[in-house]
Structure 1
Amino acid sequence: MLERIADFMSHPDLIFGAEQIDNPEERFLVILRYYLSGWHIKPKGVKKPYNPVLGEFFRCRYDYPNGTQGVYIAEQVSHHPPISAYFYFSPENQVRIIGEIRPKSKFLGNSVSTNMEGENRIMLMGKPDDGEYVITMPNMYARGILFGKMVFELGDTCVAKNEKTGLACDLEFKIKGFFSGTYNAIVGRVRHYGADVGEVSGRWSHEIEFKDKTGKKHTLFDVDSEAGKRVAAKIVSPEDEQEPNESRRQWRELTKAIVAKDMDAATDAKCAVEDAQREDRRRRDENGEEFVPRFFEKRDGGWVPKFQIPADPREAAAAVQEWIWPSS
């Protein structure tokens, strides 16, 4: 799950330079396009991501064609209730994203639904007067878990808004009906201080269009376009060089067993991680200790990174690297 969140950082070129756009409505559409571009990247078939354990973290780096870099860190900061906090930062491109996800799952017969509480807070640091662009998440549904074809869908409504500019969009992710409709449909209306600006429509897995109030249309994002195929690769340290509670190393025995289709070994590997978690909790309880996240802290009701961003981009780039990958 912690690594899955990083897929939303896969098309950074869609947002780089947005602070140079003078029109706030056009800037808002750039943010919206960036957010919607991450949903098409998902595992083939329906594969439930591993539930992160307390203190687990995932970190990676991105090297971009323009010679700049981005970094990403996510940590499981709470187990009951489950909360994943994350931070993305590209100093030279002046983009910062802070977010948290609080999933709540329940079984619905042949389906599982997951309410994705939480929000993404995107900031164009080159346009500080905009403040934060805040975007909530749609809910997720896995259908056919007991019988029939397994299908992953997004459903219900999420909201993208910027209070400083007065722009907002209610995005409805539509679930396919039994006898009609289509998979992965999305519709939404963009408003500026309540007045209609235009309409978003399409399929988040294929192509999304924007139609302005005059009726003029243009493509907001197309998965099959050059931009859609240009996915930023995650650069991750080899598992043997990772810390024990980094995601890929934490779960590597389970991953190996699943790839080998050895369900007995998979069960043993999963139990080993869970048993270690219970032992850690027992030890903390005996010593009267509370779990303290390594990278994030709770402030004003939300989870934020334990990192102060320096004003100079070059200094910030070095500082964030040292914070996420300390040299000593």
Structure 2
Amino acid sequence: LQGYNAQKASFRTTINVKQVGHAILHLDQYNEDYLITFPPLHIEGLITGSPYVELNTNSYIIGSNGFASRIDYSGKGWVSGSKNSLHATVYPHGKEKEKSAILYTADGSWTDSFVIKDAKKQTVDTYNAKREPKTPLQVAPIPDQDPLESRRAWQKVADAIQKGDMNATSTEKSIIEEQQRALRKKEAAEKREWERRFFRRADSHPVFEKLLKEVPGGSLEKDQTNGIWVFDADKAKDAKSPFCPLSVELKDGWPRS
């Protein structure tokens, strides 16, 4: 599994996040590829002090084996609905809108349980997320992380979100963004580009472009991710902290004016 994404966030009474990018899953056993798109999301429960993620609209899983799945997300409204609900369908390529072509459906909650049925509406399987063993995250304590690792770099933003402090969230987010903008200007003036540690830029992505044809209105949106990116295993195996000179400069945190 490899992929990349960028987020475009807006702050109002809640936090809305548009995710740009994709993931590609390759199954060696069957020599199959699956394109996975990312749904937009928003943060509910900020006013009540119990924030949680709610996915919006839909996402797609497109297989090179000729089958695809569309997953629609909905949440709990003021009057009706359930938190983290989903409705998914599996169908042959090109037949998303043909009800008679639907092979399987899934209904329920992606954080609780959902039921999978075949074309005859017979239950063929169930999945209960709460009963499944969870693989624990294995990450270094934040003080031991490189300053550019996500959890450490965005720690103050995450803390502010957990507290429901939108002013602090916006302030801490702006500090990082302004520093990054300043770095981009400096690089442009010096006619150089930031060296990625784990990815390399590619001119095209044939697997993605082939499967994307099954996503209505789908786009690579490379202008929003500054190019097409592919994981570079050779770079990754040699990576160790500090990852770059900037990591050393940021050992005490992002500069504050």
Residue identity over aligned pairs, in percent, reads 24
Partner of 1:102: 6
Q: Give the corresponding residue for 2:43.
A: 142
1:155 maps to 2:67: no
Residue 189 (structure 1) aligned with residue 89 (structure 2): yes
- Whether 2:192 is the aligned partner of 1:289: answer yes
CA contact (8 A) 2:46 2:164 kept: no
Question: Can you list the C-alpha shifts for 1:142-192, whole angstroms capped at 9, x where unaligned?
Answer: 3465689866421212111113x1111111112334322222211121113
1:126 Cα deviation (Å)? 2.6
Q: Find the partner of 1:237 among 118, 135, 140.
A: 140
For structure 1, the 5+ residue unaligned runs are 1-96, 309-318
Distance 1:123 1:180, change over 3 A: same
Against the structure 1 CA distance between its residues 255 and 148, is the aligned structure 2 distance closer, same or farther, given a 3 Å change threshold? closer
The 3-state SS of whatever aligns with 1:234 is coil
Cα distance in 1, alignment partners of residues 69 and 28 from structure 2: 22
Question: Offset of 1:265 from its aligned partner?
Answer: 9.3
- Alpha-carbon distance in structure 2 between the residues aligned to 1:205 and 1:172: 14
Q: Answer yes or no: is 1:211 the counterpart of 2:112.
A: no
SS of the aligned residue for 2:103 comes to: strand
Counterpart for residue 150 of structure 2: 247
Matching residue of 2:230: 304
Specify whether residues 119 and 248 from structure 1 end up closer, same or farther in structure 2 by C-alpha distance, changes over 3 A only: closer
Shift in alpha-carbon separation, 1:183–1:98, aligned structure 2, 3 A? same
Distance in 2 (CA, whole Å) between partners of 1:182 and 1:260 is: 25
Q: Given that residues 207 and 219 in structure 1 are in contact (C-alpha distance below 8 angstroms), is that contact kept between their aligned partners in structure 2?
A: no
Q: How many residues in Structure 1 have an aligned counterpart in Structure 2?
A: 214
Q: How far off is 1:305 after superposition?
A: 1.0
Partner of 2:246: none
- What is the CA deviation profile of residues 125-151 of structure 1, one whole-angstrom value per residue up to 9, with x for unaligned ones? 2322x2x11121222123465689866
Equivalents in 2 of 1:110, 1:262: separation in Å? 12
Give the Cα–Cα distance (whole angstroms) in 2 for the partners of residues 261 and 114 of structure 1. Answer: 16
**Equivalent residue for 2:66?**
166
Alignment RMSD (CA, Å): 3.9
Partner AA of 2:29 in structure 1: G
Residues 166 and 246 of structure 1: CA distance in aligned 2, closer, same or farther (over 3 Å): same
- Per the TM alignment, residue 259 of structure 1 is displaced from its structure 2 partner at its CA by 8.3
TM superposition score normalised by structure 1: 0.53
Aligned equivalents of 2:137, 2:127: Cα separation in 1: 21
**Structure 1 CA distance, aligned partners of 2:231 and 2:76?**
38
* Residues 234/148 of structure 1: CA separation in 2 closer, same or farther (3 Å cut): closer
